[in-house]
């Protein structure tokens, strides 16, 4: 305003499409909606499969030494199969392998959880023995009186 110059932007519809062309494009979009839905499902399945491969490999690296080979082997073969299905872009195959792999991962989780429970249980049992000895050595009456003050 201080310089006296003015700038304007004018937006006008200048697509050049007639009503018939617009209607034709809308009808084509409706006709291909099912194809789009299938393509979306395939992409989402592939993304889930990639994520599952990554997460499973990460878990195997973290807990692999704590799990027996009979639990670990089906998971490793499932990962390899899932990678093949991803490379082949086989959506149904990916879904099947992912379901099987989830079952094997449940067993992995159970193994890891049970081992953690055992590890926590053993030191806990040893720690409770000294506590019991200390409690036996303490006199039961340590001078504390439970009382209520009435005004």
Answer whether residue 139 shows pLDDT above 60: no
**Residue at token pair 């049992």:** 125
pLDDT digit string (tens) for 12-43? 666 677 778 888 888 888 888 888 888 888 88
pLDDT digit string (tens) for 37-92? 888 888 898 898 888 889 888 888 887 777 777 777 888 888 888 888 888 888 88
The mean pLDDT value for 90-116 works out to 82
Q: Where are the domains of the chain?
A: 20-117
DSSP-derived letter for residue 32 is: T
Exposed (0-12), middle (13-18) or buried (19+): which is 81, by Cβ within 10 Å?
Answer: middle
DSSP-derived letter for residue 89 is: T
* Residue 46 to residue 93: CA distance in whole angstroms: 11
DSSP-derived letter for residue 57 is: H
Instruction: Report the candidate in 106, 74, 75, 88 with the shortest Cα–Cα distance to residue 45.
Output: 88
pLDDT score recorded for residue 128: 47
CATH number of the domain located at residue range(s) 20-117 in this protein: 1.20.1270.10
* Residue 108 to residue 11: CA distance in whole angstroms: 61
């Amino acid at each position: 305003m201080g310089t006296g110059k003015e700038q304007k932007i004018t937006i006008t519809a200048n697509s050049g499409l007639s009503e018939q062309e617009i209607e034709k494009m809308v009808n084509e979009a409706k006709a291909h909606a099912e194809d789009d839905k299938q393509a979306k499902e395939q992409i989402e399945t592939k993304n889930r499969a990639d994520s599952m491969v990554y997460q499973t490999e990460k878990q195997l690296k973290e807990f692999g030494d704590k799990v027996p080979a009979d639990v670990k082997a089906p998971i490793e073969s499932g990962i390899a199969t899932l990678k093949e299905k991803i490379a082949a872009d086989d959506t149904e195959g990916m879904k099947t392998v992912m379901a099987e792999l989830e079952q094997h991962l449940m067993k992995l989780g159970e193994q890891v959880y049970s081992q953690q429970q055992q590890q926590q249980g053993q030191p806990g049992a040893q720690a409770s023995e000294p506590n019991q000895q200390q409690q036996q050595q303490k006199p039961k009456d340590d001078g504390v009186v439970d009382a209520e003050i009435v005004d």
